[in-house]
Structure 1
Amino acid sequence: MSGTVADEMKQLLTKAFDPTGLDIINDSAQHSGHSGDDGSGESHFTIVIEAPGFADMSRLARQRAVIAALGDIVGERVHAVAIKASAP
């Protein structure tokens, strides 16, 4: 996939969950010079996602599902992701 990491995350999450709401916020500037900042400007993100598939899932299950959908992005290409996942 080409483009930014945020664009790639949006594509993966849209495919996995068909969300009714999705916002990917790049928080990297707030972590400049901190642990995990690789200088790419794409090291820390907040994901706010709302999807019907989350209705019967616990908060932890929702977070695990989002991390799984992102594949190798989290931990290998992105240092940290805050996830706020909910059902409509």
Structure 2
Amino acid sequence: MTAEKVDQIYNLLAGALDPDSLEVVDEGYKHLGHGGEGKGHFLVRIVSPAFTGQSAIGRHRLVYGALASMMPDQIHALAIEAKAPGE
């Protein structure tokens, strides 16, 4: 199930933000026992031209917007490393 969520996150972000690079990492193992089991904890590393001129908050909003259909029912926690090309 988690691999399916990783693929879904990847596909949503790729479709919405046309990234130069994108990595989605399942980090659920780091969060066992504190709640949110079954929903998923993920790390997203993404480089996209869509982030050019955006603040960190703006970049995160773009990522969360792309994943809105999964929040909060399928994603419990999301760490984001978002950069523009050349950063």
Do they fold alike, i.e. is TM over 0.5? yes
Structure 1 runs not aligned, ≥5 long: none
Q: 1:1-88 residue pairs with structure 2 within 5 A?
A: 4-38=4-38, 43-88=40-85
One-letter identity of the residue aligned with 1:66: V
Q: SS of the counterpart of 2:71?
A: helix
- The question of whether the paired residues in 2 share the 8 Å contact of 1:74 and 1:80 is answered with no
Give TM-score, length-normalised by structure 1: 0.87
Shift of 1:72: 2.4
Runs of 4+ with >6 A deviation: none
- The question of whether the paired residues in 2 share the 8 Å contact of 1:36 and 1:43 is answered with yes
Give TM-score, length-normalised by structure 2: 0.88
| Identity across matched positions, percent | 35
Structure 2 runs not aligned, ≥5 long: none
CA-atom RMSD, angstroms? 1.3
